[in-house]
Amino acid sequence: MTLVNVTSKVATEFVRERHYTGNASPGVLRYGWLVENQLVGVTIYDVGNHAMRQGVFGPEHYRHVLHHHRLAIEPRMPKGTASQFLGAAMRQIKKVRPDVWAIVTYADECEGHKGTIYQATNALYTGVRAKGNLKFRRPDGVIVPTQSLSGTWPERREEAARLGWDEVRCKGKHRYVHLLQKRRAPMLWPVLGYPQREEVHA
């Protein structure tokens, strides 16, 4: 297993074909995971939004924060591949970008994600981002972003209704932080216990 840099073209094409959102931007850092010389995973980091970057350590330190934009793994890969890959990527970022103190990442509750991969890589859990995204639920139960349809928002809403798609407001996204550097400002967000998957009783 080998961590490699990948081009924006390779990264975005790989992710768009395998990530549930179907989209990806090039970001500022991109890594691939090779197994037997085959690309089986891609992770992309970008700068994220300004409010998020200011929130971690304060407005004077926003430049020290990056956002984990996308992670995509070949479905055939065994359990644990994603956490191994992320761990290697963060060690590399820590090495080549000492100016990056922290990486913020989100797990979408709307997709049933609790952030198990981030928990496995010792990320700090800082709660749920208050407002969940508005999405569409297709008749087959699959939830898709509103950007799945083209046009203005009223046009997308009208098209969704015509297709029989329902509008759903997600609960929000679980927010995690990976701290990379020991010498840094104190984090302002509270650290909470990890969320757990609800048990299903027969």
101 and 50 part of one domain: yes
Residue 75 is assigned to a structural domain of this protein: yes
The residue to which tokens 């009208």 are assigned: 158
Count how many domains the chain has.
2
For the chain, what percent of residues have pLDDT higher than 70? 94
DSSP assignment letter at 117: H
Residue 27 CB burial class (10 angstroms; 0-12, 13-18, ≥19) = buried
67 and 144 assigned to the same domain: no
- pLDDT average, residue stretch 163-181: 89
CATH of the domain at 101: 3.40.630.30
For residue 152, the enclosing domain spans 134-169
In this predicted structure, the answer to whether residue 198 has a pLDDT above a threshold of 60 is no
24 plus 6 within the same structural domain: yes
Q: Is 144 found in the same domain as 76? A: no
d(CA 27, CA 70): 9
Average pLDDT, stretch 79-106? 95
pLDDT value for 21: 78
pLDDT of residue 132: 61
The answer on 74 and 96 residing in a single domain is yes
Question: Which residue has better confidence, 170 or 167?
Answer: 167
Are residues 121 and 138 both part of a single domain? no
Q: Are residues 34 and 45 in the same domain?
A: yes
At 59, give phi and psi (nearest 5°): -60, -25
| Same domain flag for 36 and 108 | yes
Q: Are 45 and 109 in the same domain?
A: yes
Is residue 16 assigned to a domain?
yes
* 97 vs 160: CA distance, rounded Å: 44
pLDDT of residue 131: 64
Distance CA 81, CA 129 (A): 27
Residues 104, 8 share a domain: yes
Task: Say whether pLDDT at 39 is over 60.
Answer: yes
Q: Taking 90 as the threshold, does the pLDDT of residue 59 lie above it? A: yes
